[in-house]
Amino acid sequence: MNFDKELDARGLNCPLPILKAKKALTDMTSGQVLRIIATDPGSVKDFEAFSKQTGNALLEHSAASNEFTFFMKKK
């Protein structure tokens, strides 16, 4: 999947991945896609909730070894 910006949130515990994603998204234009890599297992639920709350679509998310990857499109 294509993306316009990447956020490495590995090693960060919640709520940091969300806060950093929020900040990254504010600098992006509508339609752009942010790729986030996190290691915090709680981030799956967090990003789902964040997506629902803010309307930024969670296009895809996957898990491999102990890393979680999210693709979020700015509203």
Omega into 15 within 30° of 0, i.e. cis?
A: yes
Choices 7-15, 30-38, 54-62, 63-71 (CB under 8 A): range interacting with other proteins:
7-15
Choices 12-20, 27-35, 58-66, 67-75 (CB under 8 A): range interacting with other proteins:
12-20
Q: Is 52 in the site for other proteins (CB under 8 A)?
A: no
DSSP string, 1-34: ---SEEEEETTPPTTHHHHHHHHHHHTS-TT-EE
The contact set with other proteins (CB under 8 A) reads: 13-16, 19-20, 23, 40, 42, 45-46
